[in-house]
Amino acid sequence: MDTALFSPSSLFNDDDGDDRDREDGSEPETKDDALQQNYIERTHAFPGMELLVREFSFHQLNANLLWPGTFSFGEWLVQNKHWLQARPQILELGSGTGALAIFLRKSFGVDITTSDFDDKEVEENIAHNCRINQLPVLPHIRHSWGDAFPTTDPDWDLVIANDILLYVKQYPNLIKTLSFLLKAYKPKDAKLDVENSADKETVRDVGLKHPTFLMSWRRRIGKEDEALFFTGCEDAGLTVEHLGSRVYCIRPDKACNVE
């Protein structure tokens, strides 16, 4: 597994093996420096609420801080809440601090599972952030992309993620995991809450019939590198559609036409 011990912008240039300087001009952190780091707790504003989030001062798997995409994706989901109105089973990949999942749980009451690297510290920090925001600890899956998934019958109707395309070398592993979650999908015996929805046709379209991956990608990398992920998805038999605002719908069929 690649580790982020320096500026993410340096992950995509392998012209030489030298460590690059960090974006603020300081020297790259080393593993010894990381051991001296602690946590930072701070309040972040999400649509309609504030959350107290504990972040790592440093984490070698880059699961330490909230990035702007977390907030913009949260706003997009509020504005397009028909994706959530059916109250599907949701899995978040690359949950990091768990802040987005906590926000969605508190805002919409969705059944959401967090997931990140097979790393105990990340799991424990997400659990801590649930507790300090007065939530029961959300179910969590420790899974490194490309490895065998803990369940053989994935039943998540909606898989979400934001800003997870930093590691270009991990795209094949990420696509392997996505292909499994979408193609091996087996829905639970649950009925949509269609009658209570203000937009019944939309809820039917985004509900249990079509497993979906929704991804917000705000971080900018080279277009050629970014394109490797989307072409890789298409080569794997997944359909990619841009929904606007840098949000993408990925499915194993042609059913992404929801506005």
Mean pLDDT check: name the lowest of 12-16, 56-60, 192-196. 12-16
Map out the domains of the chain with their CATH numbers. Answer: 67-251 (3.40.50.150)
Residue 241: is its pLDDT beyond 50?
A: yes
CB crowding 35-52: b at 16 or more within 10 Å, else e? eeeeeeeeebebeeeebe
pLDDT tens-place string over residues 34-81? 444 488 899 999 999 999 999 987 666 555 678 888 999 999 999 999
Nearest Cα residue to 158 out of 249, 255, 47, 66: 249
- 198-211 mean pLDDT: 55
Amino acid at 29: E
pLDDT tens-place string over residues 84-136? 876 679 999 999 999 999 999 999 999 999 999 888 989 999 999 999 999 99
pTM of the model: 0.79
- 162-175 mean pLDDT: 94
- 19-47 mean pLDDT: 59
